[in-house]
């Protein structure tokens, strides 16, 4: 009724958001528990059989808080020498430990906007032992232009061209491959990067060995424990999303995931509605 000042609310069908491929999914963290502040006590694992990570905001500081940027939430870490982190000890029998230990393949996936890293190897998202040992796998950096990717505590690849804008990253492990240079690959927004510093490639058919963790293996975000023990090897920037898989992604799958995550890295809305006003 054009002249009747009545508004009719018309519910329209929603175009479904493209879905991430869950093949081999171990854990997924959307990091969208809050739009701001320090209320949540855990980062929620959205995968089956969830194993949440405990949040430590570094009490008495403003080193860590939730934030929302252009509609996407994440954890904003603001100091490269703080104690802020999200972590969980791992042990045989839990899905993360059992999904990686003894495997020849894995993929770590993050969406991040980086501003800085501890010179003592801060962790964005990694598996390593407490006590200061190197990562067994995942994302590790000493500066925005100095990222090293480890396999079983040995540096396999070095990169100095990771963007300092918001990006989707994958580190893909597949030690069964014949070409040693293909056993650890880094993708940025679905594009394979060329290493800038050669490391020690995993031997063919080598497996992740979490029994070598110095004290207790951990899945950790945003920090690294020293041998003190203390926490002072953190990162500066926003971690929007993180996930871990037991399989090696192809370039196509990495690209497809980045297309989805770069558009929206938060939990897909269930029953989202779209409305139109008609006069």
- Asked if the structure places residue 21 within a domain, the reply is no
> Could you tell me the pLDDT band of residue 279, with boundaries at 50, 70 and 90?
very low
Q: Write out the two tokens for 1.
A: 């009724």
The span from the CA of 47 to the CA of 69, in Å, is 24
Say if 99 falls within a structural domain: yes
Exposed/middle/buried for 217, CB within 10 Å: 0-12, 13-18, 19+? buried
107 in a domain, yes or no?
yes
Stated pTM of the model: 0.90
For residue 14, tell me if it sits in a domain: no
Cis ω before 55 (30° cut-off from 0): no
Specify if 274 maps to a domain. no
**Total residue length of the chain:** 279
Instruction: Please report whether residue 128 resides in a domain.
Output: yes
Does residue 219 fall inside a structural domain?
yes
Higher pLDDT, 265 or 1: 265
CATH of the domain at 169: 2.60.120.200
Counting residues of the chain whose pLDDT is more than 90, the rounded percentage is 72
pLDDT in tens, 105-133: 999 999 999 999 998 889 999 998 877 78
Provide mean pLDDT across the span 8-26.
69
Give residue-wise pLDDT tens across range 69-114: 999 999 999 999 999 999 999 999 999 999 999 999 999 999 999 9
What is the structure's pLDDT at 227? 64
Considering the domain boundaries, does residue 12 fall inside one?
Answer: no
Q: How many domains does the chain have?
A: 1
Domain extent at residue 191: 27-269
pLDDT digit string, tens, across residues 224-264:
876 666 788 899 999 999 999 999 999 999 999 999 999 99
């Amino acid at each position: 009724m054009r002249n009747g000042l009545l508004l009719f609310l018309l519910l329209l069908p929603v175009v479904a958001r493209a879905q991430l491929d869950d093949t081999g999914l171990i854990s997924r963290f959307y990091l969208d528990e809050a739009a701001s502040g320090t209320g949540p006590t855990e980062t929620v694992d959205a995968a089956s059989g969830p194993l949440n990570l405990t949040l430590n905001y570094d009490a008495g500081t403003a080193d860590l808080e939730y934030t929302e940027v252009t509609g996407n939430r994440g954890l904003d870490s603001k100091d490269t020498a703080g104690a802020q982190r999200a972590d969980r000890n791992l042990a045989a029998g839990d899905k993360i430990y059992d999904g990686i230990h003894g495997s020849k393949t894995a993929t770590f996936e993050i969406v991040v906007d980086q501003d800085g890293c501890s010179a003592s190897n801060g962790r964005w998202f990694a598996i390593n032992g407490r006590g200061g040992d190197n990562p067994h796998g995942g994302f590790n950096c000493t500066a925005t232009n100095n990222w090293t990717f480890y396999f079983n505590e040995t540096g396999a690849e070095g990169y100095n061209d990771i963007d300092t804008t918001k990006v989707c990253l994958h580190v893909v492990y597949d030690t069964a491959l014949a070409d040693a240079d293909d056993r650890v690959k880094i993708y940025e927004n679905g594009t394979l990067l060329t290493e800038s510093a050669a490391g020690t490639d995993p031997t063919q058919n080598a497996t992740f060995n979490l029994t070598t963790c110095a004290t207790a293996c951990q899945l950790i975000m945003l920090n690294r424990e020293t041998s003190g023990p203390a926490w002072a090897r953190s990162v500066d920037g926003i971690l929007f999303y993180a996930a871990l898989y037991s399989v090696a992604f192809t370039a196509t799958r990495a690209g497809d995931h980045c297309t989805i995550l770069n558009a929206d890295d938060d939990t897909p809305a269930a029953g989202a509605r779209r409305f139109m006003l008609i006069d």
